[in-house]
A and B are shown apart, each in its own frame.
Chain A
Amino acid sequence: MAATEAELLDALRAGDEAAFAALVREYHPSLVRVARMYVSSQATAEEVAQETWLGVLNGLDRFEGRSSLKTWIFRILANIAKTRAVRDGRTLPFSALEDPARVPEPAVGADRFLDTEHPRWPGHWAVRPAAWPADALLAAETRERLADAIEALPATQRAVITLRDVEGWSSEEVRNALELSETNQRVLLHRARSKVRAALEPYLEQA
């Protein structure tokens, strides 16, 4: 990839295929993941991502760099995905009714804790988590369980944890790309990470 965004833009506008291919490799998988939050199938998400690249090409000459290229590409995606979702009669994510902060979802099941009215230890661990063995953490099977746990998350949580923790985006980049408030970004990340930890627990405790 070109050293600076300005250089990259020049290369793209000059028709440099390698520069475009590198950009596609960098962002396409994330575009599909984010699109998956809006549309109902993997195939539609793939179509939306491909359509996004056409939108990027169409707008490239007018792109003024007021936001980063990444942010701009993901905005185009969000618009196309929303239009597609509406056309397919889908409810959009993060609508008022689906505000994640409104529906509590505990990080750890209530049965793991003593009662909040317990005379001595209210809300304390009833069953404490046991430390995970270091060698099991690195096992290929742990990796598979982890990937499965992420795959099983609701699409919005899956998108947030993938961008933040797999791809290492900042919370601000994720907020911009997914059009999330700071609170919702953190609530979704918290739920995603908590569920993934919980999914690893039964397996790693026996390891």
Chain B
Amino acid sequence: MTVEFEQLSCRELVELVTDYLEGMLPAAEHERVDRHLETCQGCRTYVEQMRQTIELTGRLTVEDVSPEAELVLLEAFRAWHTA
């Protein structure tokens, strides 16, 4: 006799997405998500949007150090070195 896992709902799946994408779900859970995705267009779109969000975030650039701060810090570095 095989024990059927209880079906994952879409509402549960959206909370597992990060663990799923990070590869942090236990194998059986990971498979449950995969099986849900096979038959659920809405969740496939959702996971795709999470991937797109991560990719877009990766294209943002980090702000630069202000020239004032850099000057102050270089000054401190010189003082430290000559001390």
Which secondary structure dominates chain B's binding surface?
Answer: helix
CB-based nearest B residue for A14: B81
A-B contact pairs, 20 of them (CB 8 A): A17-B77, A24-B65, A24-B74, A28-B70, A107-B14, A116-B9, A122-B9, A124-B42, A129-B42, A129-B46, A137-B52, A165-B54, A168-B58, A186-B18, A193-B53, A194-B17, A194-B50, A197-B50, A200-B49, A200-B53
Task: Find out whether the CB atom of A129 lies under 8 angstroms from the CB atom of B45.
Answer: yes
Residue positions of B touching A, CB distance < 8 A = 9-12, 14-15, 17-19, 22, 24, 40-43, 45-46, 48-50, 52-54, 56-65, 69-70, 72-74, 76-78, 80-82
A15 touches B81 (CB 8 A): yes
- A190:B18 contact, CB within 8 angstroms: yes
SS of A interface (majority): helix
Q: In the assembled complex, how far is the CB of residue B8 from the closest CB belonging to chain A, in whole angstroms?
A: 9
Given the complex of chains A and B, what is the CA–CA distance between A189 and B45 in angstroms?
20
Once the chains bind, are A123 and B15 in contact (CB under 8 Å)?
A: no
Do A28 and B42 touch (CB < 8 A)? Answer: no
A143 interface neighbour in B17, B59, B64, B81, Cβ under 8 Å = B59
